[in-house]
Structures are given as C-alpha cells and as structure tokens.
Amino acid sequence: MPLQKLSTFIDAVCRFITCNDSSFHGQTVIFNPDFFVEKLRHEKPEVFTELVVSNITRLIDLPGAELAQLMGEEDPKLPGGTGFFRSLMSLKRKDKGVVFGSPLTEEGIAQVSQLIEHLHKHLRMEGLFRVPGNSVRQQILKDALNSGADVDLESGEFHSNDVASLLKVFLGELPEPLLTHKHFQAHLKIADLMQFDDKGNKTRRPDKERQIEALQLLFLILPPPNRNLLKLLLDLLYQTAKKQDKNKMSAHNLALMFAPHILWPRHVSNAGQLRAQRSKPCSCSS
C-alpha cells in the first residue's frame, strides 16, 4: 500500500488503534502501516469499513443509496428479486461444482491458482488471453478442477491458451463479480474522476492519482477471498503486460478483455449474459 497515496487513511488507523488499545499504552510503537491496517480490519471491521469509506467519499460523491450499498447496509438485489429465486439460483450453483459457478472461497482460489501459476511460466506466448483454447480440453480441465484434483499443467495435455481461456471462464461464471455488485457504482464514479484546469473546469484528462487512491481504498473493503484472488490476478496481468513485446498483449488490451469478467451490473447474472446483451443489435428507432 503506497504511503504517499494512503497516508491520511493510515494515520487515522494508527491513531485509532494506539488510542483505544490498552496493550500499546506506555510502549514504544514501531510504525508498521500494514500491521495496523490488518489489526483494525480483523478486530473492528465496522470501524475499519467506516474509515475506508470516509476516505473514499473525499474522492467521489456517493448519494445516500449508493453510500449505504457500499457500506453493506443495502445489498444490491439479484435479478428476479424474490427469496425463492435466490434460493433456486443458489441450488443451481452448488450443482455446478466446488469451483466454477460457485461463490468464491479460499478452496476455490487454491484450485484456480494452478491456472495462474502455469500462466506465469508462459507469459511470452503471443496472443495469451486473446487466442481461444480448445473447448474439449477446457471442459476436461474444468471437470478436473471441480473435482478438487491437482493437475499437471506442464504435461503437454493442455495448451496455455486452454488455461488462459478457462481462467476467464472461471471469473465470468462467479455468482457475483470479483469486484462485487455493491462496489459497482463506486467504480463508475472512480472511472469518471478527471483533472481540472487552472480555471477549475473539469477536463477530459483522467486524474490517475485520485483514481489509484480511490481504487486502493475500495480494494481494502473487498471480502478476503475476493481481495486475495484480485491480488493474484492483477500481478498476473501486470507481468503479462511487461512482456507485451513478445505476447502482443498491452495493459490496455488486457483491461478491455478482463473488465467484463470482473465487474458487471447487478441486473445481469454473470459476464456471459453481459456479453450477450452487448452483442445484440440495437433496436432503437432513428
């Protein structure tokens, strides 16, 4: 967590803990920002969320309903709305297996990390993540991961394009996007953060510094499994982009490819439905 971006938040966390935790009284406290952040996150999660959100609202404007949603006080409704529908969807997801189509868990991440580890070894492959894999081999690999098996991905049975495609399938089949429904509106607002000119007028130039700060704060309040997988995914994409002279996959190309797989609006059930809607011809009258 870069201190220059989150110094205000970290200072607030440290002040809160040292002032309210008797175990620190009369002791010399060594400044370790990551320790204080994790301590507050685990011991006082509600206070932690309030601190993070208060810093997010310095950067973006969130009206009442959107703020309540971000705080977890108002959950986004699944398509269909009724409790019966949600229960039926849950049963269907359980039938799909322990990994694909199921809520994100640490066990599921452990299985999918096999894909990520393999891809780190093949970052120079041209068209990685863009060139589709073989559907038959992907299904075999998917079934193996769903069964909880450890798969030897270096045996030659599977191609790296199969592995890359299956990683996108996994993300797109999550019941809720990796970045979560309740963060959706905040992400839209962050994307709209632009610089101002000398006269105070909003320009069309993205304010990358504020965008990065807001994203870092938002990632702090993701559920632990989501945050853990996001770290693995972002590192993989970063390392992939560093090899773009070989794989021809720039950061921009990767972002266009993965964005619909990690964030989609709550009125669609998964990334596949979002892609289907986007591919429909426009029916608007001229």
Report how far residue 4's alpha carbon sits from residue 2's, in angstroms, rounded to the nearest whole number: 6
Residue 268's pLDDT is 64
Residue 92's pLDDT is 44
Which SS3 state, helix, strand or coil, does residue 110 take?
A: helix
Residue 284 lies in a domain: no
Q: What is the pTM of this model?
A: 0.77
pLDDT below 50 — which residues of the chain?
1-8, 10-19, 24, 28-30, 78-96, 278-279, 281-286
Residue 114's pLDDT is 98
Q: Which two tokens stand for residue 4?
A: 């220059």
pLDDT, one tens digit per residue, over 41-83 is 888 888 999 999 999 999 999 988 888 888 877 665 544 444 4
Whether residues 173 and 241 share a domain: the answer is yes
Whether residues 175 and 129 share a domain: the answer is yes
Name the domain count of the chain. 2
The structure tokens 């894909």 sit at 115
Q: Which two tokens stand for residue 191?
A: 């994307």
Report how far residue 275's alpha carbon sits from residue 15's, in angstroms, rounded to the nearest whole number: 46
Residue 79 lies in a domain: no
Whether residues 261 and 202 share a domain: the answer is no
Report how far residue 133's alpha carbon sits from residue 164's, in angstroms, rounded to the nearest whole number: 8
Domain that holds residue 104: 96-180+223-277
Residue 276's pLDDT is 54
Whether residues 113 and 150 share a domain: the answer is yes
Whether residues 107 and 234 share a domain: the answer is yes
Q: Is there a contact between 152 and 194 (Cβ–Cβ < 8 Å)?
A: no
Whether residues 164 and 120 share a domain: the answer is yes
Q: 121: closest CA among 93, 66, 159, 71? A: 159
Phi, psi dihedrals of residue 196, rounded to the nearest 5°: -115, 145
Phi, psi dihedrals of residue 44, rounded to the nearest 5°: -140, 70
Which SS3 state, helix, strand or coil, does residue 150 take?
A: coil
